[in-house]
Amino acid sequence: MSGIDTQWLVKAAYFAAAFLFIVGLKRMSSPKTARGGILWAGVGMLVATLATFATPQMENFILMLAAMGLATVLAWWSGKRVAMTDMPQMVALYNGMGGGAAAAIGAVELLGDGEHALAFITLAVAGSIIGAVSFSGSLIAFAKLQGWMRKPLRFGGQQAVNLVVFLATLALGGLLISGEAGGHDLILLFFLAALLFGVLMTLPIGGADMPVVISLYNALTGLAVAFEGFVLDNAAMIIAGTVVGAAGTMLTQLMARAMNRPLSNVLFSAFGESGGGGGEISGSMKPVDAADAAVMMAYGEKVIVVPGYGLAVAQAQHRLWEFCQKLIERGVKVKFAIHPVAGRMPGHMNVLLAEAGVPYELIFDLDEINNEFPSADVALVVGANDVVNPMARTNPESPIYGMPILDADKAKNVVVIKRGQGTGFSGVENALFFNDNTRMLYGDAQDVAGKLLQALKGL
Amino acid sequence: MIDGFMALYIFMLAAFTGYEIIGRVPVILHTPLMSGSNFVHGIVLVGAMVVLGEADTTLEKVIGFIGVFLAAGNAVGGYVVTARMLEMFRSGKDGRKESAE
């Protein structure tokens, strides 16, 4: 085939890929078709990748295949192996890699000599900044969710420092664009500044806000890919990157809204810093043992289960569902109440419960179930904390004030399964645990669910 | 490069497409969809391949290699993780259908 023909083939493949991506994403946005959606997008990726090998005048195929092979093995292995509970940080990690790749493309384009149009260099620089920020920011988000970095890092004048680094990055980028200065040193400095900004920007953000941040970086990576797509004149990258950039921005807003926190608040306010910010709480935590708790639920009429991250960490979803099935056999009405941001990401908890086999009919979201709590005999809170903290309703001083919560405190009795007496991920004390009608059931959620099951069988 | 205004048109239309797709997605699909869109920007792989394919100097090859490695990780990892998450919706999907009928 002549060069022209292969070029045509590559373009046709990219067109098909862009189409398949859009259809795939569209299908992924509805529960009925979601599973097929990823297949459509996957076929698009395969077509585009295979066609790219036919791009005229390419070399270094061995290096290319080595890089792809290595990454494929590592990513496949890690993706298959990771527990459902750790999905959010894996998404952060893979997303960071995409941002890094976009930055790498920008770097090579900037290194290349030759005269380029102003728009070309501007887009290359913009894509590089966004990609690099997304890369280092996502890695920090990964480290935080992985538990390698427990506490948000904050220091005085942090925002000023961040602003200075950001402006320095822009200034270096401006220098590159203007062409007044150039050379490898400047480019290196430019990328270091952008990477540093990504790190600094993410460090002060608390774990509870990480999902929103990951979603934001996801959108940013999409944008970076689109910009570098313009630079490379690659239509597949432009379309896919822009669609993801816009979709990701929308998704970020939806998530922030679900937490009732404007995005600016997530990014620039010190959240969950004080830990004591909620003021004093009177009363004490009253423990209960598994047998008593099981009796309480077995002889109730209605139990609402509120699962949280603790359930995910302990992998307790299967055991808990077994326990709930026993309750249902006894004629107890069991419902699951899912907070929009239960777990680490919106929808994360639904995935976990689906994994355990809990039918959809028993799963309700915040708006559907909140007015049912007063009629529930027991609200069983499993490893959830901030999402049931009544201070979000009552205490304007609290850092989580205004966040919609599940009104578990309005149930006749509340049983809280919790590992220890510590505060939640946001670092805020929970007034629910000190209520008169609340009993604390300490222990790992899986062990406790097992004990509850045992106790129930013994009745 | 694609001509200036044509580029802007493509950008605008693709951006609206992205917004429309996400418009009314139920909360339960937020995480899988984020993961799915994370997979889609793995298309950066084709750009990284072209850049590595056209690299001449050692430095360009090194950066290009890193780029292809990162991009392939994004694409493959994104796919595996999304497919696993959506697999969970198998039973759920059937249940939903029954309750709707």
Sorting pLDDT into bands at 50, 70 and 90, what band is B29?
confident
Count of residues in chain B: 101
Is A422 a residue whose pLDDT tops 80? no
Q: What is the pLDDT of residues B39-61, one digit of tens each?
A: 999 999 999 999 999 999 999 99
Nearest-by-Cβ selection for A246 from B15, B32, B95 = B15
The residues near A131 (Cβ < 8 Å, ≥ 6 apart) are A99, A100, A101, A102, A103, A104, A105, A106, A220, A221, A224, A225, A228
Q: Which of A386, A409, A436, A447 is catalytic?
A: A386
Sorting pLDDT into bands at 50, 70 and 90, what band is A427?
low
Is A157 a residue whose pLDDT tops 90? no
Q: Verify whether the Cβ–Cβ distance A95 to B7 is below 8 Å.
A: no
- With an 8 Å Cβ cutoff, is B99 touching chain A? yes
Q: What is the pLDDT of residues A320-334, one digit of tens each?
A: 999 999 999 999 999
The reply to whether A386 belongs to the active site is: yes
Mean pLDDT of all residues belonging to chain A? 86
| pTM of this prediction exceeds 0.90 | no
pLDDT of residue B96: 39
Mean pLDDT score, A28-41: 88
Q: Which two tokens stand for residue A177?
A: 């664009």
Phi, psi of A441 (to 5 degrees): -115, 95
Closest CA to A403 of A386, A416, A380: A386
The three-state secondary structure class of A374 is helix
Q: What is the pLDDT of residues A241-298, one digit of tens each?
A: 999 999 999 988 888 877 767 777 777 765 444 333 444 566 678 888 888 889 889 8
- Of A232 and A309, the structure prediction assigns the larger pLDDT to A232
Residues of A in contact with B3 (CB under 8 A): none
The residues near A35 (Cβ < 8 Å, ≥ 6 apart) are B86, B87, B89, B90, B93
ipTM above 0.90, yes or no: no
Is B94 a residue whose pLDDT tops 70? no
What share of chain A has pLDDT > 90, as a percent?
45
DSSP A336: E
pLDDT of residue A344: 65
Lowest mean pLDDT among A143-152, A449-458, B52-61: A143-152
pLDDT of residue B2: 66
Chain B 10-69, residues with CB within 8 Å of chain A CB atoms: 10-11, 14-19, 21-55, 57, 59-61, 63-69
Q: What is the pLDDT of residues A342-363, one digit of tens each?
A: 776 667 788 888 888 888 889 8
| DSSP letters spanning A39-105 | HHHHHHHHHHHHHHTT-TT---HHHHHHHHHHHHHHHHHHHHHS-GGGHHHHHHHHHHHHHHHHHHH
Q: Verify whether the Cβ–Cβ distance A101 to B44 is below 8 Å.
A: yes
